[in-house]
Structure 1
Amino acid sequence: MQENNFQELKIFEAPILNECCDLLRERVKKITEEDIYLVGSVSKILNGDLPEEYKVKDIDFIVSMAGFQKLIRNKESLFPEARTIEQRPERLIIYLNNFAIEIWNYLERNIDKKKKYFKNKIPYLCQLEPNKKYSM
């Protein structure tokens, strides 16, 4: 059963973006057997590090290295509704009509991030606060 957390919480003003994110989360979980996390400007907004009025240019997610490899092997079934999916070494870019969603390969540069959940439903990564210790 598909979770419609983006749609339920109305993360984005455009309903189609919420629907696409819910679909993407479901498909990534089916392919990789793991969840993807929001990163980038959207995660900063959810964490209160950027104002809600900030103009989001794209939506960034991140997945483990193993999960990223599975997505590459299954990219044709990942989001068939997309205009195209561009593959780069560190990310997949899903081009929609007027927007892009990127799925990044989790790399060592992300070990300084803390896992959180927005309203206990949307997983995201945010910067660790300096001089604070967190358990991962």
Structure 2
Amino acid sequence: EPPLGHDGPFTPQVVVNGSADAVGAAPGEIERLISRTPHAKGPALSLGDGKVSIGGGTAPGGAADVWLVRYARGVVEVPVARGENTGRTLPHANVVHSLQRLGRWNGEATTLPLPTAPGGLSTAVLVQTPDGGPILAAAAN
């Protein structure tokens, strides 16, 4: 649900690489934000065969969190029950159903087991600096 004070039926929130964000930005503004934000400087990351493989590199502060994200790919229309958009139906894309910490990455190449996805859900894995800091690497199936 968009924050109060923003106009229009749909106010997107965009976070780029966990280090820059905008609320209510137009597509041109979002593209500029992406082009100005440094690319993630993290390890190689790949999913497959029931595991996630994380390459070697430098872990800021000595370690990073490895997150398993389960999400429904695509767009769903969601009726809004309260707030400034009460009574409207708004699109929600790639809705996250669960977020689970798989482990830590200390800079050394490692492999972690990847649990099987529940029916119909897609998988993404994020390597993120602790306490919700910048995303260092991301991969999705």
As a proportion of its length, which structure holds more strand? 2
TM-score by length of 2: 0.23
As a proportion of its length, which structure holds more helix? 1
Structure with max Cα Rg: 2
Question: Greater relative contact order (Cα 8 A, min sep 6): structure 1 or 2?
Answer: 2
